[in-house]
Structure 1
């Protein structure tokens, strides 16, 4: 069973996104990026992923604020855990998202399977 405190924290995070998270969510939600179905603040194990797509491929997108500079070891452990679960982890700084949203979306798009490729 999932940790209720972690689920509650994810819910709180969804209700108070940072401006870069809000902008990125607006671009990812409702299949807006090539039909990929992203969710935000998703509990995966003991972690909360900023954005996760489980189909058509497993991708986690992280919007890293300034606090991430001081938690490199934690982020590396978290990334390793998510990769063991089959996710490709993409990290973008809040600055990248704010100043180059189209470039961030293109980088995410590159990780999605081709639209005309057969489903696995």
Structure 2
């Protein structure tokens, strides 16, 4: 995957988001960091195109999004669908989970991520 220079404002916002993770993001990060999932490296709050994704494994082109309650409004659902379609069209796999998923059963979330990481990377659409 080629690396593009991201918009400096986007990079600054991603840094701010890394410093101000939600409780669910922090709890999941404790399970993903230090190559704890199948030896794969996950990064958090990563700019990809016009978006900043919550967690990203470049080796498997796997994006993990943790959705809070604001994602359940009708407009947010539509925006998330467009975002997922954009990422998938470029060969990324997107796994969407919710804050309650993480807060109530982080082990099941970890297993779902590990299962998704076992799949080979997707290919971009032509």
Q: Is 2:68 aligned against 1:65?
A: yes
For residues 18 and 2 of structure 1, what CA distance do their matches in structure 2 show? 24
Q: Structure 1 unaligned segments of length 5 or more: list them.
A: none
Partner residue in 2 for 1:105: 110
Q: Which runs of 5 or more structure 2 residues have no equivalent in the other structure? A: 121-126
Alignment: residue pair count: 114
The partner residue of 2:88 within 83, 90, 112 is 83
Q: Deviations over 1:18-44 (max 9, x none)?
A: 110001011001101111110000000
**Partner residue, 1:20:** 24
Note the alpha carbon deviations across 1:33-84, whole angstroms, 9 max, x for none: 11111000000000000000011x1100001000001101110010011111
1:66-113 Cα deviation digits (max 9, x unpaired): 000110111001001111121110011100000010001111111122
3-state SS of 2:6 partner: coil
Cα distance, 1:14 vs structure 2? 0.2
SS in 2 for 1:30: coil
State the partner residue of 2:97: 92
TM-score w.r.t. structure 2 length?
A: 0.86
Give me the whole-angstrom Cα distance separating, in 1, the residues matched to 2:92 and 2:53.
Answer: 11
